[in-house]
Amino acid sequence: MVELEGSSVNWHLFAVLSQVAFTGWFALTHWVPMPPLNDLSKEAFPQEKRTNLILHLFQLASVLAFVFQIRWLMGLGALFWTLSLIGHITSWWLPYFFGWPKAFLKNAEADNAKTYHFLPPRRNHPIPDLVHCIIGLLALASCIASWAAIFLS
């Protein structure tokens, strides 16, 4: 545990809770139809469901690594959360702020046309929906907590 001005932070617990929250939110929003939060009427890309199942396996392995404090597997878990965060930023925030090729724009517009957005439009850039904004925050928390659990605990 790390002491921060009189309070202690249990990074292992924070890593487990943030990863469980991410995994739960991801599973809920990618498997259970909840319009207007998500649109599961069709797969966003070929083999999406299969890809999501594989991601769930990595997520679960990481959670278990941090629960049982298996150091080498925790390192792989932290790497997974870092890559997830980078992928999220690359897929949603860079296109939102800087634009994206037209081929991606068509897919992003079709995939998220029926989902809830609260961010203002930026020209013809894709807008991250609420589901993906929450995914980004949970990925950030999981990434930070995972590395902190490894190096600060």
Give the pLDDT confidence of 94-139 residue by residue, as tens digits.
Answer: 999 998 776 666 666 666 788 999 999 998 888 999 999 999 999 9
Q: What is the pLDDT of residue 5?
A: 54
Check residues 144 and 100 and name the one with the higher pLDDT: 144
Helix (H, G, I), strand (E, B) or coil at 129: coil
Euclidean distance between CA atoms 126 and 138, whole angstroms = 21
Mean pLDDT of the chain: 91
How much is the average pLDDT of 35-44?
Answer: 89
CA 83/CA 147 separation, integer angstroms:
13
User: 9 phi and psi, to 5 degrees?
Assistant: -115, 120
**Residues 128/120, Cβ–Cβ less than 8 Å:** no
